[in-house]
C-alpha cells in the first residue's frame, strides 16, 4: 500500500527486458537504475507488465523520496530533554570528532569560530589532500603546505606544528612519501583533543550534537520505512526493498523470520552476522544501517547495490574474464575491504565472485557476512566452512587458522577474473566435491596467456598451500599484499578515499543478472512457539540505528544541511536555549478539530483531572 502523504507517479511498462537489476547482499531482482525507482511486478505469471513507482516528493535531487512529514519526524528535541546521551556517550575526542560524521562536522563548525583552531583544521585538510595527491604532484603540494602552515613568516602558520618544519622539508626532499606529515598530524590532534575539546563540550555545537544523538536513538520500527517488493530470499526469510520515510534513502531489508530462526537453531548465527555488520565501517563492505524487529521477523537494513555481482560480469558480458586494469581495480578494493575486516579481527571465509557486488558507479563491496567470525586476540580458530573450490587447504583439512583463508580467496578471485574460470574447476565442469578438494590440496593451478607476469606472481603467492608462506599471512599482512608489483599502478590512499575512477561503470540500460520474477514463498513454520527466552534474544538484536551509517545518511540526503541551522549571527536558537522552556507537543489535527467543536469536553476533562489531583492531595495529607 502506498503512503497517503507521498505523491507517486505510476507508469506501466509492458516489457521487462530493458531494465537493470538491483543486487542486494547476494540477492538479484529486476529494478530501475534510479535508486528511488522500484519495480513492482504482478504475481500473475501469464501477464508480465511491471509498474514503476517514481517518487516525486521532496523537490528532487538528494531530497527525493522524503515524506511530507520529514521535518516532524526529525524534529530536534529541546536541549533540556537531551540529558540521556549527554551522560551516556563516551566523551572521547577520536570517537566524537573524527569517527562520527556529524560529530566531526559540528566540531569543525566550532573550530571555525576561533582563528587558531580554524588554522589547525585547514592544516589537517591540507595534509589529507597531500596523501591523496598523485605521485607526480605530491612534492609541490608538500612544499605548499610547509610554506603556508609551518613557516614562521606565514600569517597562517600553526604554532604547535612549526617545530616539524625542518623535518618535513628534509623528508620531502628525500622522498615525497605519504607519511611525511604523520608526526605533524599527531601533534595537531593531540592539541585539539585537549583544551579545545573540553571547551567544545560546553558550547552550542556540542549541544546540537546531543540533539542529533537523540534523533539517532529514536525507536526504529517497520513504520520508519516504506516497504516495497520482494527482491530475493535469504536463509531465514525474504529480502525486500525499503525506503526511509524521513530521508528518502533506499536500502535492502533482510528479514529473518523468528520461528524459522528458532526451528533451525540459528540464533547465534543471526546475532553474529548482525554484530559483525554493525562493527565494520568500510566503503568496501556492505554496511548495516538499522536493526529492528516486527511481530514475526528480525530485520537487517543494509546497503542496496544496483550493478550486479562479479560472477555475472565475469561470465555474461562477452568473453569470460576481465582486462588487467579491471582485475587490478576490483582486487585492490577487495584487498581494502579485507584489511578493514581484519583490522577488527574478523575473518570473512566466503570470498567468491557472487559475494562481490557493484554499485551504480562501478565500485564494489563485499557482501553476505553470514560465515564471518571474530577471531579472539592471540588465538586461532577452526571451522570447515566456505564454498567448494574457494576454501583454503587449511580449511579443508580442518586445521586452525586466523586470516589466511581470506588471502587464499583473494588469489582465487584474481585468477578467476583473469582466466575466466576458477583455478581448480572449469566452468560448468561436473565434478565431485572430494575431487575439487583433492585438486586444491595437491595440484598446482595452470596459467594461460591472459596472465601477465605480475598476475601470475601474485596468484602463486596468494595460492600458496602453506598458509605460513602465503602472501598476506606474514607480519606485514595487507600491507604486504598492497606492496606487490601487481598493484604498482594503484594509489591506495586515493582508493580508500573513493576518488579513483572505476574502469567500468554499469550501463543504466543493461541487464546485469538473470531474471528472478519467480521468487518462491517460504512455507509456514509449524510447531514452534516463542517464549520469554526468545524475547531476550530479540532485545539484543533489535538495537535500532547504527551510528555512523545513520549519520552518513543524514549528510548524504542533505537532511543535516537543511536542519542544522542556528540563530542570527551564530546565536542559540530556541531549541538550544537552556533558559527557554521546551515547546509543548503539537496536538494532532483531529484533536484540534475536536477541541474546537467540543470545548466543554476539554473543560470537563480539566475539572475531572483537577478533582482527581485534589483527592490524591487530600489523601496524602490525611496519611500518618
CA distance 83 to 205: 15
Give mean pLDDT, residues 175-180.
Answer: 81
Does 386 share its domain with 437?
A: yes
Neighbouring residues of 177: CB distance < 8 A, sequence distance ≥ 6: 171
Which string of b and e fits 100-120 if b means at least 16 CB within 10 Å? bbbbebbbbbbbeeeeebebb
Give mean pLDDT, residues 155-170.
Answer: 92
pLDDT at 570 over 50: yes
Does 268 share its domain with 333?
A: no
Q: Determine, yes or no, domain membership for 621.
A: no
CA distance 141 to 131: 10
CA distance 329 to 566: 43
Does 291 share its domain with 164?
A: no
- Domain final residue pick, 200, 216, 232: 216
CA 383, distance to chain mean position in Å, is 27
> What CATH number corresponds to the domain at position 263?
3.30.200.20
Q: Determine, yes or no, domain membership for 188.
A: yes
Q: pLDDT value at position 534?
A: 78
Q: Give phi and psi for 21, each to the nearest 5.
A: -120, 140
350 is catalytic: yes
Q: Determine, yes or no, domain membership for 583.
A: no
| Tens-place pLDDT, residues 188-212 | 999 999 999 999 999 999 999 999 9
- At 150, list the grid cell: 609551518
Smallest CA-to-CA distance from 331 within 418, 222, 398, 218 is with: 418
Does 173 share its domain with 313?
A: no
Does 284 share its domain with 402?
A: no
Query: Which range has the worst mean pLDDT, 185-199, 258-272, 478-492, 574-588?
Result: 574-588
> What CATH number corresponds to the domain at position 172?
1.10.167.10
Does 208 share its domain with 280?
A: no
In contact, 315 and 512? CB cutoff 8 Å: no
Give mean pLDDT, residues 63-87.
Answer: 91
pLDDT at 620 over 60: no
Neighbouring residues of 90: CB distance < 8 A, sequence distance ≥ 6: 96
- Domain final residue pick, 511, 527, 560: 511
Which string of b and e fits 253-290 if b means at least 16 CB within 10 Å? bbbbbbbbbbeeebbebbbbbbebbbebbbbbbbbbbb
Q: How far apart are the first and last CA of the chain?
A: 60
Considering Cα of 533, then 535, then 539, then 541, what sign does the dihedral take? Answer: positive
Find cell 578493514 and name the residue: 340
Q: Determine, yes or no, domain membership for 46.
A: no
> At 597, is the secondary structure helix, strand, or coil?
helix
Of 166 and 177, more confident: 166
- At 181, list the grid cell: 606529515
Q: Determine, yes or no, domain membership for 587.
A: no
pTM of the model: 0.81
Q: Could you write out the three-class secondary structure of 75-103?
A: CCCCHHHCHHHHHHCCCCHHHHHHHCHHH
Q: Determine, yes or no, domain membership for 607.
A: no
Q: Which of 25, 207, 350, 575 is catalytic?
A: 350
**What Cα–Cα distance (Å) separates residue 355 from each residue in 64, 114, 181, 273, 475?**
30, 48, 38, 15, 27
Give me the chain's average pLDDT, please. 84
Does 357 share its domain with 285?
A: no
> What CATH number corresponds to the domain at position 400?
1.10.510.10
- pLDDT above 70 covers a percentage of the chain that reads 80
Cα angle 51-52-58, degrees, rounded to a multiple of 5: 140
Does 284 share its domain with 389?
A: no
Q: pLDDT value at position 265?
A: 81
- Domain final residue pick, 216, 246, 277: 216
Q: Give phi and psi for 479, each to the nearest 5.
A: -60, -35
| Tens-place pLDDT, residues 313-324 | 999 888 999 999
**DSSP assignments along 268-330, one per residue:** HHHHHHHHHHHH---TTB--EEEEEE-SSEEEEEE--B-S-BHHHHHHHSSSSS--HHHHHHH
Q: Determine, yes or no, domain membership for 340.
A: yes
Question: Domain range for residue 119?
Answer: 79-216
pLDDT at 578 over 50: yes
Cα angle 353-357-360, degrees, rounded to a multiple of 5: 145
- The length of the chain, given as a count of residues: 624
Give mean pLDDT, residues 264-287.
Answer: 91
| Tens-place pLDDT, residues 473-525 | 999 999 999 999 999 999 999 999 999 999 999 887 776 655 545 445 555 66
Does 186 share its domain with 319?
A: no
In contact, 47 and 5? CB cutoff 8 Å: no
CA distance 389 to 440: 7
Does 260 share its domain with 181?
A: no
514 is in an annotated binding site: no
CA distance 433 to 431: 7
Does 291 share its domain with 341?
A: no
Q: Which residues pair with 39 in a beta bridge?
A: 52
| Tens-place pLDDT, residues 337-348 | 999 999 999 999
CA distance 298 to 252: 13
Q: Determine, yes or no, domain membership for 550.
A: no
Number of domains the chain contains:
3
- At 33, list the grid cell: 537504475
Does 120 share its domain with 248?
A: no
Dihedral Cα 187, 193, 198, 200, nearest 10 deg: 100
* Residue 227: Cβ-neighbour burial (10 angstroms; 0-12, 13-18, 19+): middle
- At 108, list the grid cell: 569543525
Smallest CA-to-CA distance from 20 within 515, 516, 517, 511 is with: 511
CB atoms within 10 A of CB 373: 17
| Tens-place pLDDT, residues 395-445 | 999 999 999 999 999 999 999 999 999 999 988 888 899 999 999 999 999
CA distance 227 to 222: 8
Neighbouring residues of 207: CB distance < 8 A, sequence distance ≥ 6: 79, 82, 572, 576
CA distance 391 to 8: 48
Amino acid at each position: 500500500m502506498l503512503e497517503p502523504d507521498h505523491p507517486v507517479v505510476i507508469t506501466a511498462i509492458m516489457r521487462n527486458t530493458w531494465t537493470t537489476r538491483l543486487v542486494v547482499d547476494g540477492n538479484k531482482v529486476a529494478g530501475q537504475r534510479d535508486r528511488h525507482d522500484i519495480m513492482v511486478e504482478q504475481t500473475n505469471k501469464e501477464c508480465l507488465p511491471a509498474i514503476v513507482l517514481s517518487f516525486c516528493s521532496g523537490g528532487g535531487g538528494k531530497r527525493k523520496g522524503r515524506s511530507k512529514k520529514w521535518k516532524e519526524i526529525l524534529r530536534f528535541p529541546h536541549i533540556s530533554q537531551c540529558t540521556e546521551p549527554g551522560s551516556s556517550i563516551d566523551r572521547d575526542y577520536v570517537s566524537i570528532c573524527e569517527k562520527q560524521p556529524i560529530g566531526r562536522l559540528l566540531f569543525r563548525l566550532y573550530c571555525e569560530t576561533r582563528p587558531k583552531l580554524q588554522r589547525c583544521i585547514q592544516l589537517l585538510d591540507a595534509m589529507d589532500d597531500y596523501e591523496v595527491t598523485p605521485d607526480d604532484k605530491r612534492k609541490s603540494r608538500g612544499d605548499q603546505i610547509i610554506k603556508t602552515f609551518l613557516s614562521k613568516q606565514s600569517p597562517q602558520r600553526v604554532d604547535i606544528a612549526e617545530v616539524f618544519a625542518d623535518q618535513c622539508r628534509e623528508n620531502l626532499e628525500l622522498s615525497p612519501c605519504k607519511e611525511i606529515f604523520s608526526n605533524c598530524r599527531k601533534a595537531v590532534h593531540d592539541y585539539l583533543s585537549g583544551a579545545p575539546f573540553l571547551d567544545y563540550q560546553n558550547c552550542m555545537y556540542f549541544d546540537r550534537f546531543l540533539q542529533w544523538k537523540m534523533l539517532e536513538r529514536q525507536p526504529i520500527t517497520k513504520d520508519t520505512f516504506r516497504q516495497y517488493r520482494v527482491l530475493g530470499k535469504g536463509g531465514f526469510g525474504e529480502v525486500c526493498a525499503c525506503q526511509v520515510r524521513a530521508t528518502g534513502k533506499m536500502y535492502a531489508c533482510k528479514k529473518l523470520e523468528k520461528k524459522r530462526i528458532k526451528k533451525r537453531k540459528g540464533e547465534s548465527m543471526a546475532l553474529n552476522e548482525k554484530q559483525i555488520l554493525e562493527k565494520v565501517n568500510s566503503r568496501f563492505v556492505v554496511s548495516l544501517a538499522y536493526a529492528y524487529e516486527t511481530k514475526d521477523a528480525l530485520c537487517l537494513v543494509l546497503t542496496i547495490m544496483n550493478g550486479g555481482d562479479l560472477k555475472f560480469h565475469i561470465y555474461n558480458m562477452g568473453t569470460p574474464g576481465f582486462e588487467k586494469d579491471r582485475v587490478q581495480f576490483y582486487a585492490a578494493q577487495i584487498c581494502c575491504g579485507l584489511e578493514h575486516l581484519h583490522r577488527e579481527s574478523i575473518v570473512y571465509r566466503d570470498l567468491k565472485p557472487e559475494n562481490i557486488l557493484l554499485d551504480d558507479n562501478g565500485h564494489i563491496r563485499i557482501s553476505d557476512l553470514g560465515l564471518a567470525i571474530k577471531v579472539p586476540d592471540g588465538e586461532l580458530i577452526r571451522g570447515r566452512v566456505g564454498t567448494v573450490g574457494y576454501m583454503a587447504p587449511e580449511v579443508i583439512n580442518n586445521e586452525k587458522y586466523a586470516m589466511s583463508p581470506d588471502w587464499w580467496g583473494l588469489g582465487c578471485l584474481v585468477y578467476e577474473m583473469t582466466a575466466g574460470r576458477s583455478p581448480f574447476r572449469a566452468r560448468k565442469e561436473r565434478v565431485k566435491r572430494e575431487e575439487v578438494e583433492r585438486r586444491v590440496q595437491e595440484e598446482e593451478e595452470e596459467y594461460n596467456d591472459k596472465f601477465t607476469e605480475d598476475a601470475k606472481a601474485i596468484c602463486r603467492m596468494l595460492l600458496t598451500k602453506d598458509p605460513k608462506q602465503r602472501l598476506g599471512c606474514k607480519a606485514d599482512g595487507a600491507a604486504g599484499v598492497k606492496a606487490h608489483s601487481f598493484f604498482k599502478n594503484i594509489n591506495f590512499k586515493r582508493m580508500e578515499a573513493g576518488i579513483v575512477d572505476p574502469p567500468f561503470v554499469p550501463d543504466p540500460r543493461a541487464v546485469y543478472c538473470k531474471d528472478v520474477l519467480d521468487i518462491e514463498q517460504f512455507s509456514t513454520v509449524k510447531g514452534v512457539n516463542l517464549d520469554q527466552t526468545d524475547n531476550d534474544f530479540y532485545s539484543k538484536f533489535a538495537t535500532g540505528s547504527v551510528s555512523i551509517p545513520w549519520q552518513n545518511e543524514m549528510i548524504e540526503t542533505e537532511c543535516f544541511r537543511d536542519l542544522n541551522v542556528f540563530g542570527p549571527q551564530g546565536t542559540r536558537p530556541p531549541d538550544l536555549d537552556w533558559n527557554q522552556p521546551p515547546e509543548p507537543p503539537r496536538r494532532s489535527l483531529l484533536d484540534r478539530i475536536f477541541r474546537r467543536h467540543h470545548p466543554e469536553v476539554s473543560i470537563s476533562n480539566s475539572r475531572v483531572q483537577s478533582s482527581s489531583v485534589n483527592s490524591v492531595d487530600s489523601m496524602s495529607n490525611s496519611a500518618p
